[in-house]
Chain A
Amino acid sequence: MSLRDLTINPLRIGMRSAKHIEPCIMVIFGATGDLTSRKLLPALYNLALEHPLPPQFTVVGMARRPLSHDDFRKMAFDAITTNSRTQPISPSVWDTFSKGIFYNQGEFHDRAAFERLGQLLDQIDHDRGTLGNRIFYLATQPEFYSDIAAMLSESGAARPPETEAEGKGWSRIVIEKPFGHDLATAQQLNADLSRAFHEDQIYRMDHYLGKETVQNILVFRFGNGIFEPIWNRRYIEHVQITVAESLGLEGRAEYYESAGAIRDILQNHMMQLLTLTAMEPPVNFGAAAVRDEKLKVLGALPPVLREIANDSVRAQYSSGYVGGVKVPAYREEEGVKPDSLTESYVAVKLNIENWRWAGVPFYLRTGKRLAKRVTEIAIKFRRPPYLLFQGTGAGELATDVLSMRIQPDEGITLRFNAKVPGGEMHLRAVNMDFFYGNTFGGTPPEAYERLLLDAMAGDATLFTRIDETLAAWRLVDTIVQAWRDSRSPVALYAPGTWGPEAADQLIERDGHTWRRL
């Protein structure tokens, strides 16, 4: 390394702590909200504690509530003390971290407030050496996204990508789901954002992608030589993806009523699990290559489901008992309309029409108030071509299943048939288990920590690109439109069960059954 080449830091060469963060400011919109106090501030504190963030790193909160810098620091301290995974809080680390916390009060459509924000950011650049590098994190209600983006652009607080090349710093914007309500609103939101930010500057957050076990899907598939050769239509009979929650609305009725299970979970989290399971190997682990392959999967979903009424089910939970406690029906939940048609459960059968997956159905189901909280991807393999043990009293062979559990009990289980010891030929399905907790122990970092660090480092691999997002909305719109057109009824299911009978029928028509998890 020649010291004449100072475009890279020679002291970084060879270091394994891969992601190095340039000095920057993170502006959090919705700074007094729940997401900021539960997730963002604790994650930033833990990053400062364990990585560490550069000394210049600065947090600026913006919200409507009138607060002084010190008020916001106090609020941040309380939030971190309550919600940080590392306890107790280090006074020394907090002392220097808190010196980089500021607050700017204002409405999200108030031009003057954004001009004050721009002045504050310029001042921080000057005083703390943050070099004009800015991340704008939108932890607000989605209806403010467009206004905030426009104001950031108009006020000059956010800068176009050309300024980075000029050495004047970079600007990035991080947006929480939901990104739109349907295809049209997502396109409109993207158009609004695009007036202020280039696609490379937009980081669409799906915190599922920050989970270690979700990232491990790629390692499992492409880091081992034994699975990829059988990862196709020749060996796989079908795939089941389940995201089950045992809880109800938990105070989120206002949002959930307008979203339902299909927008809340299927459009984003489940599409990510689907694409990671079905994608082709990317040419490298860079953002563009991974996202290109995910997009191809979404592009291979047929634009119109052939028999949408038969291939999807929507349902709501009725009243009943969970764990011995009476719970209300969905329509009886506070904030839910008595005649609501919003689904708390959705199941859908998808076909990926490409060379690898032709004829292999993917069954997806998600819902609230189900039997237990579990997220898994189950690969069911085809039976052996010749039933060798027929007539020996062995009974029917169970199909081999590879299940990847995302949460809880993160791990991988392979179910296969084994002979029961004894003189007779009895077969029994047995499990070969790998549990993360048993093998590695420890507590993995929070998904937010990983994703915030990636956004600061400019690594967009674990964020969704606009074409992925729009492709997922296209699918969801198709299903929702079909529900409307067919006036298909909203089925009911008892809380604490695995969903409605109609969902069982959906999969049984193909000769399969849902896994009992």
Chain B
Amino acid sequence: MTTPHVPLRPVPVNGIETGLSNLWREAAAGSLAAGGTVVARNCALTLVVFTGVEGNASSVVREVEQVSGQYAMRAIVLRSLGHMPKDTTVASQIGITQRDDQSGSTHGEVIMITTEPDQATLLPGTVLPLILAEQPSFLLWTGEPPWRSDLFESLVDGCDRLIIDTSDSRNAEKALVALNDLQRRKHNACIVTDLNWTRLSPWTELMAQFFDTQDLRPYLGAIDRLTIEYAADTDDSIGNSAQAYLFAGWMASRLNWETSGQPPAPAAGGGRGHTALGNGVRIQIELLPRPGVPQGSWLDVLGKRRASDGSFARSSPGIGAISQVGFGALMSVHVHAKLNGQDGVFAIAREQDLWHASTHCSAGQVYPAHTVSLGALGEMFSIEQQLRELYPDQLFEESLSAAARILGPHGVRRTP
């Protein structure tokens, strides 16, 4: 469990570093005097978190505290609020977090910086000097990034790695195209990634696993239909299709599918349909929203998951149901192929408890199925996983490019 070792306390912006040094000394002395655990300042990375929406801040901070302890980091949380004390443009607070587990206690530091929305341009000059020298730095942007804005570009340029979450986007298709554009422009300066991609890892792993059996690999060249269902609200016919497009992009990039870039055609169930050509076979790609699945932000889902069993998700990944999934979560993937007149079906479907997924494979015979915990396989550890990565993820880059090609210039919806 992560707990505030020293709760957040206000400090002048120009006194953050000094304030933190004092705080650590105070915490170390206090802990020693009380016979507690050793408090060691040992930050291995900087995580800058931008949260522009007030309502989202508490869950972001909660998540940051979880991973802050996990990684002994300096977390800088940037909030843009609609109300600030009079005569204040930028306010800051500092604190120390403590995470306890079997291997001992880990401590991290948190800096909270708050501005009014129209003062957000002050942030880069405030934040960039606080990034730890010669340590990896990550920028986690929650919500829809202001693509190509000075604020966004300055912070991206100041960090080694940008983490965004396309599940937060109101227009996921536009976000994927913009992210792909950013990735191409910043390729040598900042590594770009998407939490939605990390959440896909159990799905890509399970799909790949079908074809670890060599006898089934020829079916990969005979795929004629890929159907992906994702969670959607009842009042939104499309919902957030980012995960679905990333999965389709991953398949397309691995199997060298040629995509037409033509406007998507309506698919049954109100989804989108695309065509591709793979190994000489015409492939129908369908992305179908499944309405009525309870959804929330992934951070909230994770928070509730943790709250429901009182511990960090990794240590208790295996039981029970969750009440909702994150926006646009994959619900099922169904691949159909026809090889020498024989149907091959390779399917993964989320279980009713929303926490597990089961596989189905039939190709001449029915193969053993299994049920796995999506949470334990990575669906719930997205930020933690991203903080391990310091190098470009070529697989993500190629999958994102392929997803953008599937979407094409015509596939981008107008922002409502």
Q: What CA separation (Å) do A439 and B70 show in the bound complex?
A: 8
| Interface pair B315/A100, CB less than 8 Å apart | no
Which residues of A are found within 8 Å of B126, using beta-carbon distances? none
Instruction: State how many residues of chain B have any CB contact under 8 Å with chain A.
Output: 63
The CB with the most chain B CB atoms within 10 A, among A21, A51, A88, A442, is that of A442
Answer yes or no: A388 CB below 8 A from chain B CBs.
no
Interface centre among B101, B107, B217 (most CB of A within 10 A): B217
- Which of B17-25, B167-175, B269-277, B367-375 is the interface stretch? B367-375
Contact A86 B317 (CB under 8 A): yes
Chain A residues whose C-beta falls within 8 Å of the C-beta of B318 in the assembled complex: 49, 86, 88-90, 93
Q: Indicate whether B398 reaches chain A with its CB closer than 8 angstroms.
A: yes
Separation of A85 and B314 alpha carbons in the complex (Å): 10
Give the complex CA separation of A50 and B367 in angstroms: 21
With A55-B367, A93-B372: A15-B212 Cβ-Cβ less than 8 Å: no
B245 contacts the other chain (Cβ, under 8 Å)?
A: no
Select which of B40, B71, B211 is within 8 A of A441 by beta carbon: B71
- Write out the residue numbers on chain B whose beta carbons fall within 8 Å of the beta carbon of A52: 205-206, 209, 370, 372, 377
Residue B157, interface by CB 8 Å? no
- A230 close to chain B: CB less than 8 A: no
A102–B98 Cα distance when bound, in Å, is: 45
- Expressed in whole angstroms, the Cα–Cα distance for A95 and B212 within the complex equals 23
Number of A-B contacts (CB under 8 A): 178
Residues on A with C-beta less than 8 A from B259 are: none
Q: Could you tell me if B107 and A438 are in contact, using CB atoms closer than 8 angstroms?
A: yes
Contact B353 A437 (CB under 8 A): no
B209 contacts A54, C-beta separation under 8 Å: yes
**Could you tell me if A92 and B208 are in contact, using CB atoms closer than 8 angstroms?**
no
B71, B372, B393, B395 pick with most chain A CB within 10 angstroms: B372
A3 touches B256 (CB 8 A): yes
Tell yes or no: B56 within 8 A of A by CB: no
Query: Contact: B104 with A409, CB < 8 Å?
Result: yes
By a CB distance below 8 angstroms, the chain B residues around A22 are 212-213
Q: In this complex, what residue of A is CB-closest to B394? A: A14
B254's contact among A1, A54, A434, by CB below 8 Å, is which? A1
Which of A92, A96, A97, A128 has the most chain B CB atoms inside 10 A of its CB?
Answer: A92
Residue of B nearest to A85 (CB): B315
Cross-chain contact of A13 among B99, B221, B254, B377 (Cβ < 8 A): B254
Tell yes or no: B91 within 8 A of A by CB: no
**A56 contact set on B, CB distance < 8 A:** 213, 367-368
Question: What is the total number of residues of chain A having a CB less than 8 Å from a CB of chain B?
Answer: 57
Residue of A1, A15, A96, A436 near B204 (CB, 8 A) is: A15
Most buried by B among A55, A89, A93, A409: A55
Is the CB of B376 closer than 8 A to any CB of chain A? yes
Interface string of B80-108 (1 = CB under 8 A from A): 00000000000000000001011111110
- The complex places the Cα of A285 from the Cα of B361 at a distance, in Å, of 36
Bound-state Cα–Cα, A90 to B318, Å: 4
User: Do the beta carbons of B317 and A6 come within 8 Å of each other?
Assistant: no
Whether, in the assembled complex, A18 has its beta carbon less than 8 Å from a beta carbon of chain B, the answer is no
Within 8 A of B (CB), among A15-29: 15-17, 20-23
Fill in one digit per residue for A243-281: 1 if any B CB lies within 8 Å of its CB, else 0.
000000000000000000000000000000000000000
Residues in chain A near residue B317, CB distance under 8 A: 49-50, 86, 90
Name the A residues within 8 Å of B316 (CB-CB).
86-88
Instruction: Tell me whether B58 is interfacial, beta carbon within 8 Å.
Output: no
Please, what's the 1-or-0 string for A484-504, where 1 marks a CB less than 8 Å from any CB in chain B? 000000000000000000000
Kindly list chain B residues whose C-beta atoms are within 8 Å of the C-beta of A100: 368
| In contact, B319 and A6 (Cβ under 8 angstroms) | no
C-alpha gap A443/B311 in the complex (Å): 13
Q: Assess whether B207 is in contact with A11, with CB atoms less than 8 Å apart.
A: yes
User: Whole-angstrom distance between the alpha carbons of A309 and B81 in the complex?
Assistant: 77
Question: In the assembled complex, how far is the CB of residue B104 from the closest CB belonging to chain A, in whole angstroms?
Answer: 4
Cβ-defined contact, B211 with A9, below 8 A: yes
* Inter-chain contact A128/B220, CB cutoff 8 Å: no
Complex-state Cα separation, A2 to B213, whole angstroms:
18
- 15 extra interchain contacts, Cβ-Cβ under 8 A, other than A96-B368, A443-B103? A9-B217, A11-B208, A11-B211, A12-B212, A13-B254, A15-B204, A15-B205, A15-B395, A51-B377, A54-B212, A86-B318, A92-B373, A441-B72, A441-B101, A443-B315
* 20 contacting pairs across A/B (C-beta < 8 A): A1-B256, A3-B256, A3-B279, A6-B218, A6-B220, A9-B212, A9-B217, A14-B398, A23-B212, A49-B372, A52-B209, A55-B209, A55-B370, A86-B315, A90-B318, A439-B44, A440-B44, A441-B101, A441-B103, A443-B101
**Which residues in A have some Cβ–Cβ distance to B below 8 Å?**
1-3, 6-7, 9-17, 20-23, 48-52, 54-56, 85-93, 95-97, 99-100, 128-129, 131, 409-410, 433-444
Across the A-B interface, the 7 shortest Cβ-Cβ residue pairs: A90-B318, A14-B395, A437-B104, A55-B370, A437-B103, A11-B208, A441-B106
